[in-house]
Amino acid sequence: MTQDVQEQPQNPEDKVGRMFEYGYRKSNYGPDELVTDAHGNPISVVDAMLSAVEAAKAETSTPHLCYYSPRIPGNTGSAIRLCAVTGTILHLVEPLGFNLRDTKLRRAGLDYHDMAHVVLHPDFDDLVASMPDSRIIAFTAHATKLYTEVEYKPTDILLFGPEPGDIPDPMDIMAGPHVAEQVRLPMRPSLRSLNLTNCASIAIYEAWRQLNFAGGK
């Protein structure tokens, strides 16, 4: 006689793990399953994020990071992970070149823990109004001062503009009256630019180093 074997309930963590392959979300899972809670249940991306008020009140060990109108979802996905591991708050200023709820934001690490370091602003004025006492430091190739010549504070906002493309760089944002400093990363003159989140990583870790890697280990 053959004894029926009862199927064991699926482990929620295993279920979430099978959603991804080689760091990317599999195509047979819907967009609403991109972000899940600890039990593997889909949750709203916006529900997992900080509000502007919460972000302004949060005590951090690194400056805040701001992407103005980012266009490439992979860069933002990498920035979210960067901010999660360094304790940095990431401000995303609309318009974005992608939908945060879209499958194009394909990072295996985008669970609700990582998204808790992200705040979305409808425009740049909203960011400035939410953190009126913060110093905004714009990273731009037009600057003459090097990023290492600044003494960073946890209340600073490190501002990065859109990735290069058909849309002109918003110099009213990157060089406006709200900007306290303009700085650049040194590069060989024969090359155009670094990847956006590579630049942000260099900046965040320099600032964190100056602050003695507070909160890290």
If 0-12 CB within 10 Å is exposed, 13-18 middle and 19+ buried, where does residue 198 land? middle
Cα separation, 62 vs 94, whole angstroms: 23
Write down all domains in the chain, each with its CATH number in brackets. Answer: 70-188 (3.40.1280.10)
pLDDT single digits (tens) 56-77: 999 999 999 999 998 888 888 8
Token pair belonging to 117 = 């370091």
Residues belonging to the binding site are 161, 185, 193
Residues belonging to the binding site for S-adenosyl-L-methionine are 161, 185, 193
Smallest CA-to-CA distance from 22 within 113, 106, 137 is with 106
How many CB atoms within 10 Å of residue 43?
A: 16
Cα separation, 195 vs 179, whole angstroms: 22
Provide, for the chain, the percentages of residues in helix, strand and coil under a 3-state DSSP scheme, each rounded to the nearest 5: 30, 15, 55
pLDDT single digits (tens) 89-124: 999 999 888 777 655 454 434 555 677 889 999 999
pLDDT single digits (tens) 157-205: 999 998 875 555 688 899 989 999 999 999 888 776 789 999 999 999 9
3-state secondary structure of 14: helix
Which phi and psi (to 5°) does residue 44 adopt? -70, 135
pTM of the model as a whole = 0.78
Residues sharing a CB contact under 8 Å with residue 42, sequence separation 6 or more, in sequence order: 32, 33, 35, 36
